[in-house]
Structure 1
Amino acid sequence: MPMHRRDVVLGALGLMALPAAQATQSPQSWPHASQVPGGIARLSLGPAARRPQARTAEDVPLLVLGDAIDWGALVGIPLSAEPGEARIRVLREDGGTSELTYVIAPKRYREQHLKVAPGQVDLSAEDLARYERERAHLQTVMATFSEPLPQGELRMQVPVPGRRSGSFGLRRVFNGEKRNPHSGMDIAAATGTPVRAPMAGRVIDTGDYFFNGNTVWLDHGGGLLTMYCHLSASDVKPGELVKAGERFCAVGATGRVTGPHLHWSVMLNRTMVDPALFLEA
């Protein structure tokens, strides 16, 4: 049988090419699979005596859950991902490496035009320097990878009651200038409304940031992080543990906002994904 060029390249790298992986589609599984930009792929890794390691093509570690009968990798798909074939690497117990491919389907997100203070779009030299310092710090926060959680399903509670805007993925245009797509869910609520942890986690960062205002990050294990922005108050410090449903901060209107609300983001393998995939419909 003739070999394709892709097979030759993989052989030279010591990788074994496998068929495209299939996502688990159980309606009772959280997070739900959605193989689109901003979504999540649930890929079966098969049986193994111990938890295998899996990494993205960019060498970012992935969250692997399951048991010896069947392990599965959860892959956060960037909003910037192009439709088509993508791949992950799996490190096996015998030291070998295999490659799984999966297909990203296209998705078109809405566009939203917003008016904000000019100084929050065209930054002054001082504000730009602050933003660059904050971005460097947040890169280290987003790289957090602790031991995966023991539960097999990662169902979350809505952190605050209110109207969910469904704004994840919006292509936002501020004062006529295009910016990065919205990477979280906005929930309308009054200043001071308690924010409760959607699942158990450890506080890994708190701070007052130029765009996000008062912010708290929680680590839920295995590269699964959540972020809460524009807060009026925070009741926690880095290193503290919070239980699912426990109040740990309050809604506000700090940072770049047009009114009080909670901006809630969910990050998986350093990629912002749609929080709605972790919630019941």
Structure 2
Amino acid sequence: MRKPLLAVLLALLAAGAQALPRHAPVPGGVAVVALDEGGETPPAVRFDDATPVAVARQQGRWFALVGIPLDTQPGRLHLTVGSGPAARSLEVAVQPKDYPTQRLTIRDQRKVTPSAEDLARIAREKEATDAIKRHFADRDPETDFLLPAKGRLSSRFGLRRIFNGEPRNPHAGLDVAVGAGAPVRAPAAGIIANTGGYFFNGNTVFIDHGRGLVTAYMHLSRVDVREGQAVKPGDILGAAGATGRATGPHLHWAVFLNGTAVDPELFLRPQ
């Protein structure tokens, strides 16, 4: 009887604990850094002395969740914990990681080489979406995610992309191969921060999960939520599609931490 009872207790403990993303201190990854601070009040942590960093609590201990930009070189990143005379510094060792190259053909050449008018629109949209990605809400985030669509994981995060023979930005998200109209669901609780139609991203939904953790769902054929709406895990956000720059129907799912894109697979619950 002891073994079944122990298994039940362990399951209950696991269910009650806040699952953290997997520690991956590489470009495009997440560094999960244990902090000495205790208590109920979340400690203030900053990256490069300016950017606020998400923190999460697990079994009474605080952890900093540091999103590492894709263009970061191997070496050491500096964190500041606290403020004023009591502030202290921490270092994160960033390990190298090489990402494969992916070559794609886009039928609409305008999506590869935009016009001057398109470039002006792209710049406006980037300014608006960068502000969404950098938003830091004073809310504890859920950091273990459901996969937002049922399908094969096709294009992985970080791929160096070449469109119609021309190098472009790396793939800053995870693609899920699904048919047009397939439901797209919230992976965790949050607030809808924005919905809109964008030049590259197409119809897009942004969710603010709290403390600088933001997710985005792109190329949708339909949007079923509105800005300011609260969502919980499994709520339908819209339907997959091929709007924006896309080779066909799929979901592009992006995760942002302290304003930078990181690998969504690090947040997925074990299947």
TM-score of the aligned structures, taking structure 2 as reference length: 0.88
Structural mapping, 1:1-281, within 5 Å: 29-49=19-39, 50-57=41-48, 59-66=50-57, 69-91=60-82, 95-116=85-106, 117-149=108-140, 154-279=143-268, 280=270
Matched-pair contact (CA < 8 Å) for 1:131–1:210: yes
* CA deviation vs aligned residue, 1:183-215 (integer Å, no higher than 9, x gap): 000001111111110001100011000000000
Matched-pair contact (CA < 8 Å) for 2:21–2:266: yes
Which of structure 1's runs of 4+ aligned residues deviate more than 4 A? none
| Alpha-carbon spacing, 1:192–1:46, altered in 2? closer, same or farther (3 Å) | same
Mapped to 2, the partners of 1:68 and 1:194 lie a distance apart of 34
* CA deviation vs aligned residue, 1:72-112 (integer Å, no higher than 9, x gap): 111011111101111111115x7521110010000000001
Where 1:216 maps in the other structure, the secondary structure is strand
Mapped to 1, the partners of 2:184 and 2:74 lie a distance apart of 35
* AA at the equivalent of 2:89: E
Mapped to 1, the partners of 2:93 and 2:205 lie a distance apart of 34
Matched-pair contact (CA < 8 Å) for 2:80–2:89: yes
Mapped to 2, the partners of 1:170 and 1:184 lie a distance apart of 9
Gaps of 5+ in 2: 1-17
Matched-pair contact (CA < 8 Å) for 1:265–1:272: yes
Q: CA RMSD in A?
A: 1.7
Mapped to 2, the partners of 1:144 and 1:229 lie a distance apart of 19
* AA at the equivalent of 1:44: A
Deviation for aligned residue 1:148: 3.1
Mapped to 2, the partners of 1:157 and 1:97 lie a distance apart of 36
| Alpha-carbon spacing, 1:143–1:72, altered in 2? closer, same or farther (3 Å) | same
Mapped to 2, the partners of 1:67 and 1:139 lie a distance apart of 29
Matched-pair contact (CA < 8 Å) for 1:197–1:244: yes
* CA deviation vs aligned residue, 1:48-92 (integer Å, no higher than 9, x gap): 333210000151101112279532111011111101111111115
TM-score of the aligned structures, taking structure 1 as reference length: 0.85
Mapped to 1, the partners of 2:195 and 2:203 lie a distance apart of 7
Matched-pair contact (CA < 8 Å) for 1:64–1:222: yes
Q: Which moved more, 1:60-69 or 1:39-48?
A: 60-69
Matched-pair contact (CA < 8 Å) for 2:141–2:210: no
Gaps of 5+ in 1: 1-27
Mapped to 2, the partners of 1:242 and 1:37 lie a distance apart of 30
* AA at the equivalent of 2:121: R
Mapped to 2, the partners of 1:67 and 1:229 lie a distance apart of 31
* AA at the equivalent of 1:263: H
* AA at the equivalent of 2:34: S
* CA deviation vs aligned residue, 1:2-21 (integer Å, no higher than 9, x gap): xxxxxxxxxxxxxxxxxxxx
Matched-pair contact (CA < 8 Å) for 2:49–2:80: no
Mapped to 2, the partners of 1:180 and 1:68 lie a distance apart of 39
Mapped to 2, the partners of 1:190 and 1:68 lie a distance apart of 40
| Alpha-carbon spacing, 1:120–1:69, altered in 2? closer, same or farther (3 Å) | closer
Matched-pair contact (CA < 8 Å) for 2:141–2:209: no
Where 2:45 maps in the other structure, the secondary structure is strand
